[in-house]
Structure formats: C-alpha cells, structure tokens
C-alpha cells in the first residue's frame, strides 16, 4: 500500500503570553544526560537459567490523523511561538481586518481545513514553527489554483523562477506550483533552509520568504544588527509589504490561539476527511481515470490537484497527488498493483565549474535544493569549490 503522510502528534498546550514583538526566542532546555549503560548479560548467567533479555518493544503506531477543526486549531495553538498575541498597532489592525466579519472568517477556515491540516502536519514533520502553516492563508487563502498578479501561482504563490530553483517542474500541461504536494514540499524545504540561515528566527525567515533572503541580509548589514520585527519595522529599509507579512502571520496566530478575545467562534466541531499524498495508479492517463481506480470523486481530485491542465497526465510530469483518505480509497489503493520499477540508472553527480550555484545545479537536474543539501552534507551557507563533485541522486 502506498505510504500516506497524514497527521502529526498532539503536544501539550503552551501558555499564550502577551508582549511586544521584540522578545528574544525562548531558550531550549538542555537534553538530560544519559545514564550508565545496562550491563550485557553474561554467558554463564544464561547457562544457569537466567531469563533471556527482552526484545526491543515495538514502535508505537502512527498517530491518528487530524480530522476535526478542534484538533487542528489546538495543534496549531500548541506549536505557535511564544508570545502569540502581542501588543502593537500593526498587529491590532490586522486582527481587526481578518476578524472584522467573524462568520465569514470562520466559514473560510472551515472550507480549507483539510489542506490546512495537511500543511500543518508537514510543517510539524520538519520541526518548523506552526506560524508557517498560515502562510498559504496570507498568500492565497489556501487556493491551489490561485494565480496572482505578476505571475505567482499556487497556494504558496511562487514565481516560476523561484519554483524551478527549488525543484518544481513546470512543463507543457503541468505546473507544479499548482500542486499542493510539490509546492508544499518546495516551500517548506526553502523555509527550512532560510531558518538555518537566519538562526531559527521565524520572523526573519518569513521576511526572507516574502522579500528574498539577500534583501534581508543586506538590511541586516546596513542596520548593524539582526533584529526582525514586523511591528517595529526592523530591520529598517524594507517595504511595508514585508513588515505586514509578519504582522499578518502574528495576527492570524493570535486569532486562532485566542478566538474568544475577538468574539470569534472557530469551526471546532467541523469534521473532514484527511488528505494523503499518493502515487497515481499505474496505467492512468487522466485524473478521472485515477479517481475511478481510487474510488474518489473525480471533481474533488481535480480540484485538489490543478497542476495537471485539463486533468490530463502529460509524459514526464510527477505523478504524486493529494487524495481524500476515506476508507474506500485506502482499500482501493492497497489493492492496486505497484508502479513498475524506475530501472537501475546510475546516480548522477555534477563537477562544479566556475559560476555554478547549488540552485542552478538543482534546476539543471530537476531536483530540489534540499536533496542536494542532504546528499552532500551542505546547507544554505555552503560554498562551492571549482572541481568539487556534487552528488545529485541518492
């Protein structure tokens, strides 16, 4: 049965503090020191009839997927960075803007619960702050087929060059920016890299996602510090759009974590079918054919996966989609034949030449930057050397 990536573990609720935007990140408690190792049973003890050592316990089963509004909102609130609700005019203005029509805000949230739960799970799996699960609200209100002015597309609103630089395929009949699977992988991998570059400061990371990392780094150098705040407009010299980007994320987090402060009633009682990422069945040439084999509604499958123009599956396009993980689909997917093996093509590598960049190498070979980082023990700060061999494939 194809692997399904569903929901993340639930964590204990953290207190929600209220202060300004300039507070330093909370310190991380040091890990407890390991105690002395257990002695290995001696052979003569076993010979005297001592009981054999117990086998290692079975790993716990995967957690149940998030499938209610209450589970999703509680999960997000538990994983927002403290303080969630802060003082300040910009934050107050954006809270008022989003919650100005409480019924409409709650209805919009209910409509996007399945996609939001999928992204929240992926955010948690990468160890990123839960605020990043709110970026698709700011960008597109979680509309996979959204096309913005100037060319950005998808629920993460990526421009084509940025998408290609992060391994998203764009070809005739297929635009991976409109794939919730491909675009979420690329966006979150990019946020992981940015977070490493900005020392885990989620505010600076969000600014860099909006304005570009080099613009934020130049502003830091110009200001002589690395303080990032949407409320206090730091670092100075950025556009209002970039400061508002952080303010919007903080406002949304406060509304979700403390709805009672704003006379909001979130759709906590709403139930929904979780989404799973799944390889398309072998031998299908359209989403409608895949829907028949997976026993899901064809219109819903097309709505969730608009990357395939007209619902057709062009040659060379990725064949991984989001599917409602209802019981009938799970049974149907289990009984489908496995996809044919990809073959024994040798792993590719690239010898660095003058002017090469990791993003350019990723684009040339159609892979994600994160894959290059992982295979070559690199990160966003790594510097390439002429003649260096970069592994491209696992």
Residue in 113, 110, 91, 120 with CA at minimum distance from that of residue 252: 91
Q: How far apart are the first and last CA of the chain?
A: 23
C-beta separation of 392 from 367 below 8 A: yes
Kindly list the distances between the CA atom of residue 157 and the CA atoms of 133, 150, 186, 206, in Å, as whole numbers in the listed order.
Answer: 14, 10, 12, 14
- As a whole number of angstroms, the distance between CA 320 and CA 305 comes to 9
Give the Cβ contact number of residue 309 at 10 Å: 13
C-beta separation of 251 from 91 below 8 A: yes
Asked if 38 is an active-site residue, the reply is no
Q: Tell me the β-bridge partners of 278.
A: 321
Residues 6+ apart with CB under 8 A from 114: 272, 273, 274, 275, 324
C-beta separation of 117 from 272 below 8 A: yes
Residues 6+ apart with CB under 8 A from 129: 79, 80, 81, 123, 202
Query: Of 139, 213, 300, 389, which one is the catalytic site residue?
Result: 139
- As a whole number of angstroms, the distance between CA 188 and CA 184 comes to 6
Residues 6+ apart with CB under 8 A from 94: 244, 247, 248, 250, 251, 252
* DSSP track, 128-186: --GGGGGHHHHHHSS-TT-B-TTS-BTTTTB-HHHHHHTT--EETTEEGGG-HHHHHHH
- As a whole number of angstroms, the distance between CA 345 and CA 348 comes to 9
Kindly list the distances between the CA atom of residue 193 and the CA atoms of 61, 103, 197, 285, in Å, as whole numbers in the listed order.
Answer: 30, 37, 6, 35
Q: Tell me the β-bridge partners of 68.
A: 271
Kindly list the distances between the CA atom of residue 281 and the CA atoms of 1, 70, 242, 303, 329, in Å, as whole numbers in the listed order.
Answer: 11, 33, 42, 18, 12
Exposed/middle/buried for residue 37 (C-beta within 10 Å: 0-12, 13-18, 19+)? exposed
Task: Tell me the catalytic residues.
Answer: 139
């Amino acid at each position: 049965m194809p692997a399904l990536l569903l929901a993340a573990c639930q964590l204990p609720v953290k207190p929600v503090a209220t202060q300004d935007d300039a507070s330093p990140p909370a310190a991380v408690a040091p890990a407890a020191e390991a105690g002395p190792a257990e002695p290995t049973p001696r052979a003569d003890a076993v010979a005297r009839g001592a009981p054999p050592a117990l086998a290692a316990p079975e790993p716990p089963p995967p957690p149940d997927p998030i499938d209610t509004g209450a589970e999703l909102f509680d999960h997000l609130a538990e994983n927002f960075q403290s303080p969630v609700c802060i003082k300040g005019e910009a934050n107050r203005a954006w809270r008022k803007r989003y919650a100005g029509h409480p019924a409409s805000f709650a209805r919009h949230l209910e409509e996007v619960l399945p996609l939001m739960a999928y992204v929240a799970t992926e955010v948690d799996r990468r160890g990123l702050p839960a605020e990043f699960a709110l970026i698709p609200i700011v960008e597109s209100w979680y509309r996979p087929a959204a096309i913005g002015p100037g060319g950005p597309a998808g629920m993460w609103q990526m421009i084509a060059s940025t998408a290609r630089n992060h391994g998203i395929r764009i070809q005739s009949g297929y635009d991976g920016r409109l794939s919730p699977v491909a675009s979420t992988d690329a966006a979150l991998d990019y946020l992981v890299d940015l977070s490493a570059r900005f020392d885990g400061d989620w505010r600076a990371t969000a600014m860099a996602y909006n304005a570009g990392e080099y613009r934020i780094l130049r502003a830091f150098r110009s200001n002589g510090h690395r303080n990032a705040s949407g409320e206090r407009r730091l670092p100075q010299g950025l556009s209002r759009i970039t400061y508002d980007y952080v303010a919007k994320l903080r406002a949304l987090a406060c509304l979700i974590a403390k709805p009672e402060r704003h006379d909001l009633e979130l759709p906590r009682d709403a139930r929904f079918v979780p989404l799973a990422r799944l390889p398309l069945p072998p031998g299908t040439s359209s989403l409608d054919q895949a829907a028949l084999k997976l026993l899901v509604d064809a219109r819903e499958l097309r709505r969730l996966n608009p990357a395939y123009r007209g619902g057709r599956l062009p040659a060379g396009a990725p064949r991984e989609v989001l599917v409602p993980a209802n019981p009938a689909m799970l049974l149907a997917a289990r009984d489908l034949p496995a996809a044919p093996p990809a073959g024994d093509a040798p792993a590719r590598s690239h010898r660095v030449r003058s002017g090469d960049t990791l993003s350019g190498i990723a684009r040339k070979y159609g892979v994600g930057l994160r894959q290059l980082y992982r295979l070559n023990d690199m990160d966003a700060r790594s510097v390439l050397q002429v003649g260096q061999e970069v592994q491209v494939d696992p």
